[in-house]
Structure 1
Amino acid sequence: MIVLVIGATGKTGRAVTRALASHGIAVRAAVRSADRQNTAYAAGAQSISVVDLESGAGLAEGVDGVDGVYHVAPNVHPDEAAIADRVATAAASAGVRRFVFHSVLHPDDASMPHHLRKAEAERQVRAALPGATVLRPAAYHQNLVDAARSGRLAVPYSLDSPFTNVDLDDVAEVAALVLTRHGHEGVTYELAGPEALSVRDQAVVATDVLGHRVTAEHVSLESWATGPGSNLPEQARAHLLAMFTAYDRHGLVGEGDTLHRLLGREPRTWADLLRAAAP
């Protein structure tokens, strides 16, 4: 079996590549340019296809002869729905049997514009490939592991909002499963972690597991916008600021039963990830 992984050099694409390779599946990595191929090879890809998602150049060659496609779009991309349509249409034309689209938890939440783009991308994928599988993961535990190790969880939203964060490698394992086994065609899966924790809760757990003090700190939206967010395109920055405001109101919470059922084991918790990352 050969699977084309779109977005293969990003953190999600690398994790999916590793999971597929661990199951003996040959991965063809779609990369923006040949100078990024070493990153894909390091994750376990066996071949490379240079693809321009914005123009579609290279897509026909990329999907030619593959059995499955895993599509994760560039983060906060303004043209995500058109890209999804382009990729799914190319896969359908090539007769690809399995197609998995990487969406997001609560894609129809109108308070987060980039989530709505995921919802539209889902519709484009389903129009071209009714049998496609859609994964809707929560935020990753990995997003905060390095910050916890440094001793400071600083976020531009409420420290008390709940999140059912998920282990990226658990998501990747589900991706490998639905790409290689029957019975997941046309299904949408919400992938949330097994516990609801606020950032303040995460700091407490991290302090206990890592053995050093980890603080939870709120930073203003203005500080984020002029600091970490200053190099982003204007629309991406605005949409992430909208997301932080939504997090202030209700966090990002899903139900964890589906992930547990698909994995056939307990999903990894925040403490599990920290133990693995401890020196």
Structure 2
Amino acid sequence: MILVTSAAGHTGAIMVNALVKAGYDVVATDINPAVANLPGIKQALVGDLTQLDFQRQLVASADQIVYIPPLFSAEEALIGESLVDLSVAAHLKQFIFISVTHPILTTLLQHTAKRDVEEHLIYQGMTSQLPYTILQPMHYMHNFDPQLVHNTGKYQIFYNVDSKVAYVDPDDVAEVVVKVAGNIGQHDKATYELVGTKAYSPNELVTQYNALTGEHAVTQYVDVETFLASIHAQDLFFRTGFKHLADTYSQWGLDGNANVLHMLLGRQPTTFEDYLKNRLKK
């Protein structure tokens, strides 16, 4: 039995679907009750990862964990470290941590929290021999929604429209998760950076979209305060983390190398153009 946390989110649902299709018995958990609607799962557990008793229930439900951290949680590092400790105590067969590319970047709150969990997992892995694998995905392609761009004629973004960020298809990451879960020994103690594309600016993404569709969409910068107001974000940590994200991407962008993902997939990673084609078919 394999547990997937944050399973009702976009990435979590894709990973659950891939594991179910691969024949795994999946326990899906999220604070969102919609997690119970995921097709093919054996069990849904609804609860708050910040609660120790709920974490104990989760660890007792499975012998492998795919830990996807909650988005912009002030307690993210504590949640992850506690799940690692409980997994050690329960002698779990495997702990797969969905981290982020370049967790050492101190200008990003959600990166530094994952860095702390990675460190804790590595120490625990060395002292307890908990089998683990750390996956470090790049910025997900689903953050560009071609249907929304089609409906509105614009791609609204909260960082500099000329800053370049690399991407990865969440389906490619899910494919790696299935491979790692199916061969614990081969991937034990490994850390894999999962980058799918070279870095593209928002303007370049829209250019690719227009070339494919024949449309005339435009890129539109939206300052981060306006963006946060549009999604009714009130949590202070979430707001601060998002501002750090906007500032970091505007100043430096974010990129990496696709060689590791190519090796793990045994093929070229999904291109942004192919991602668009796949999404526009749906």
Give the TM-score, by structure 1 length: 0.92
Q: Give SS of 1:246's match.
A: helix
Which residue is 2:218 aligned to? 215
Which residue is 2:28 aligned to? 29
Q: Distance in 1 between matches of 2:162 and 2:261?
A: 24
> Tell me, which stretches of 5 or more residues in structure 2 are unaligned?
none
8 Å Cα contact 2:164-2:201 kept in structure 1 = yes
Q: Give SS of 1:100's match.
A: strand
Q: Distance in 1 between matches of 2:103 and 2:55?
A: 26
Which residue is 1:137 aligned to? 137
Within 5 Å, which residues of 2 pair with 1:86-235?
Answer: 86-130=82-126, 131-145=131-145, 146-150=147-151, 151-181=153-183, 182-228=185-231, 230-235=232-237
Aligned identity (percent) is: 27
Q: Distance in 2 between matches of 1:55 and 1:128?
A: 21
Which residue is 2:12 aligned to? 13
Within 5 Å, which residues of 2 pair with 1:24-103?
Answer: 24-32=23-31, 35-40=33-38, 42=39, 44-64=40-60, 66-103=62-99
- AA aligned opposite 1:71: Y
Q: Distance in 1 between matches of 2:280 and 2:59?
A: 40
Q: Give SS of 1:243's match.
A: helix
Q: Distance in 2 between matches of 1:206 and 1:161?
A: 17
Deviation at 1:37, TM superposition (A): 4.1
8 Å Cα contact 2:3-2:61 kept in structure 1 = no
Deviation at 1:177, TM superposition (A): 1.0
Deviation string 1:46-85 (CA, Å, 9 cap, x unpaired) is 2223443111223333223633100011101100111011
Q: Distance in 2 between matches of 1:31 and 1:248?
A: 32
Q: Distance in 2 between matches of 1:31 and 1:75?
A: 12
8 Å Cα contact 1:70-1:99 kept in structure 2 = yes
Cα RMSD (Å):
1.8
> Tell me, which stretches of 5 or more residues in structure 1 are unaligned?
none
Which residue is 1:269 aligned to? 271
CA shift in 2, pair 1:60/1:188, >3 Å: same
Deviation at 1:17, TM superposition (A): 0.7
Deviation at 1:22, TM superposition (A): 1.3
Q: Distance in 2 between matches of 1:222 and 1:46?
A: 41
- AA aligned opposite 1:142: H
CA shift in 2, pair 1:217/1:50, >3 Å: closer
Give the TM-score, by structure 2 length: 0.91
Total equivalences in the alignment: 274
8 Å Cα contact 1:153-1:203 kept in structure 2 = yes
Which residue is 2:250 aligned to? 248
- AA aligned opposite 2:270: R
Q: Give SS of 1:154's match.
A: strand
Q: Distance in 2 between matches of 1:210 and 1:38?
A: 36
